[in-house]
Structure 1
């Protein structure tokens, strides 16, 4: 039994020694082929430098907004008290469908992007003035390999018929886009990034452009348009109610003035008359004027409440970080690109030395040349 244990221990130690020897042999193989590995790394570095310097510079501008979180605070209670005095109920539950998590989708929508195409821009020198659409078409550059990668798409575009692309706007009207506009919208979507902090609801808008001034102007404009969009949505129902109540108040005012004028005219033409029919008509006109006044007074109170409601639902945004012209380019990260290509070249060279070449040599050794067949005695 002891002999068997000793044999097993020897086998285990032999396996460990073989493993250590294998690692040493691998290291020796890499060291003996170090020139090849260094050559591959140099080639990888050159490729990384070419790619890094071929990518156009981009400048990123960030804008941070803190949106107001709607809640039923003291202002709502005060409005509720005024509404109770005016006989208006404000207990309807209103839900906000545009919450901060939807802001990225809003900013990538077709109507939002189309509205940005006509904003005026200027370059860093201030010598050129153009719109965003003109800037994306004529004032931006792409890496040289985009000509190669984009050739199949251009060829398919020439062969296929040029059809317009349709999309729906806010009022469900169809928006017809050309292929050029659709391409520019995709480029704009890739240049604008929006993120929302789940805890604080802080909205961060990042705009990357090849010109730092264009990046800052566009970031500030995008933030402003987002505020306008959300404000328009949240106040739309309240503004419709305000318009309707204002119309009712105007009609009630006209009816009240007309009833008051009829009552005054009747009193002027029937002074000193003590007939019961005249007194009945006077009381009727007086009641009509009083009723018209009550309606006018109630609609006036409702009008003031509607104006206060519009002010209440109007969101307020605190600009935590305004748009500033960036000084340093954010892309491309040449050091990371260079390090990445050197690492890939090193891994590829090691794989070639350790795996590809041994397998290739073994395959050659197993092959038997066709003219070197051996004959045993007795064979014909």
Structure 2
């Protein structure tokens, strides 16, 4: 029993001792390099302040939408009510390929972003009142972006000097954008985001720009254009059906009036005659008139149903959280300074404790 105790006791006792020695050794190394850590912290603080004040202030506005799409029930809605009252057939409701679930794809599409270019915006200090496409030229960029982009701008300026000047007042062509237009489209594509909650169907639109009031105005415009975009798509088919039925209604109406006039003229011309041939022709004209009236009446009923369907197909959007001018910037300078400070501190500590010994060991082995 004593031999077993002597044999097993050193094993568990050695691990805590080794761990304590390792921790104390690391602590002594940290204390020994405290001057280096002070320098790294100071450098990180200065660099963090420079970066924080070099990055332009940005503001984010979020808008929450709850879309209510048209019902697919065959026994509900204005169109079904009109069909039942007028005796017309049910025109049916088909699933649309585009709905609110595609909001993120819609707001990031080039045609949609180009429509936003003409949005009228005004800065919070009221010094700038112009269109969104002109405002994008006034947005600031960090100084390192200007340095990195200087060669490209110089080359573009040289090319522009030797190339022929074009008229910039023409409308934007989504099929053929210039480099400047494409750059602004990409800027808006990064600034405007849409997120869909698949469970609830709630859409959250967010816009990030460098002026608080401009951001709120653009967010409000995005919501309005998105709503109109989806409404126009959903009622496009119903409008086509209604336009076709209106044309058909006028044609059938004209045919009925003509058949009515032929019957009336024939009866007036032969009212004193009692020949069988006259009666036969009169019955034929009367049947043509009745048939034309039946067709005309059916088309009129279908037209009323189609008109009701246009209103039924319009989706209703409930704005749960409207656009408001933000009071604080979304990118906090304080967090940038703190992040760079700790990054410099942790990076220096990791290099001194692990990186430098590994490098020396690698040199010795090689």
Corresponding residue for residue 229 of structure 2? 229
Corresponding residue for residue 180 of structure 1? 180
Which deviates more, 216-225 or 276-285?
A: 276-285
Q: CA deviation at 1:270?
A: 2.6
Q: Is the 8 A contact 1:61 1:207 kept in 2?
A: yes
- Residues in 1 aligned to 2:97 and 2:294: alpha-carbon distance in whole angstroms: 37
- Residues in 1 aligned to 2:122 and 2:104: alpha-carbon distance in whole angstroms: 26
Corresponding residue for residue 317 of structure 1? 317
- Residues in 2 aligned to 1:307 and 1:363: alpha-carbon distance in whole angstroms: 82
- Residues in 2 aligned to 1:233 and 1:269: alpha-carbon distance in whole angstroms: 55
Which deviates more, 139-148 or 76-85?
A: 76-85
Q: CA deviation at 1:5?
A: 5.2
Q: Is the 8 A contact 1:86 1:298 kept in 2?
A: no
SS, match of residue 208 in structure 1? strand
Cα-to-partner distance string for 1:228-282 (whole Å, 9 max, x where unaligned): 1111111111111111111110101111111112222223333322222322222
Q: Is the 8 A contact 1:117 1:132 kept in 2?
A: yes
Assess, with a 3 A threshold, how the Cα gap between structure 1 residues 136 and 235 changes in structure 2: closer, same or farther: same
Q: Is the 8 A contact 2:195 2:205 kept in 1?
A: yes
Length-normalised TM-score, structure 1? 0.84
Corresponding residue for residue 261 of structure 1? 261
SS, match of residue 272 in structure 1? coil
Which deviates more, 7-16 or 280-289?
A: 7-16
Q: Is the 8 A contact 2:88 2:301 kept in 1?
A: no
Q: Is the 8 A contact 2:70 2:314 kept in 1?
A: no
The answer to whether structure 1 residue 352 and structure 2 residue 340 are counterparts is no
In the alignment of these two chains, the number of paired residues is 355
Assess, with a 3 A threshold, how the Cα gap between structure 1 residues 336 and 305 changes in structure 2: closer, same or farther: same
Length-normalised TM-score, structure 2? 0.87
For 1:186-335, list aligned pairs within 5 A.
Answer: 186-331=186-331, 333-335=332-334
- Residues in 1 aligned to 2:289 and 2:56: alpha-carbon distance in whole angstroms: 76
Q: CA deviation at 1:312?
A: 1.2
SS, match of residue 176 in structure 1? coil
Cα-to-partner distance string for 1:315-356 (whole Å, 9 max, x where unaligned): 11111111112222112x222211211111111221233234
Q: CA deviation at 1:283?
A: 1.9
Q: Is the 8 A contact 1:45 1:342 kept in 2?
A: yes
Q: CA deviation at 1:76?
A: 2.2
- Residues in 1 aligned to 2:153 and 2:187: alpha-carbon distance in whole angstroms: 16
Corresponding residue for residue 377 of structure 1? none
Q: Is the 8 A contact 1:121 1:130 kept in 2?
A: yes
Q: Is the 8 A contact 2:117 2:131 kept in 1?
A: yes
Which deviates more, 351-360 or 194-203?
A: 351-360
Q: CA deviation at 1:21?
A: 1.3
Assess, with a 3 A threshold, how the Cα gap between structure 1 residues 218 and 14 changes in structure 2: closer, same or farther: same
Cα-to-partner distance string for 1:109-165 (whole Å, 9 max, x where unaligned): 11111111112222223343211111112x211011112333465578689999xxx
SS, match of residue 145 in structure 1? helix
Which deviates more, 280-289 or 350-359?
A: 350-359
Corresponding residue for residue 100 of structure 1? 100
Q: Is the 8 A contact 2:65 2:204 kept in 1?
A: yes
SS, match of residue 143 in structure 2? coil
Q: Computing the radius of gyration over CA atoms, which structure comes out larger, 1 or 2?
A: 1
Q: CA deviation at 1:295?
A: 1.1
Q: Is the 8 A contact 1:54 1:144 kept in 2?
A: yes
Q: Is the 8 A contact 2:111 2:174 kept in 1?
A: no
- Residues in 2 aligned to 1:314 and 1:159: alpha-carbon distance in whole angstroms: 52
SS, match of residue 149 in structure 1? helix
Name structure 1 gaps, 5 residues minimum.
163-172, 368-380
Q: CA deviation at 1:34?
A: 1.3
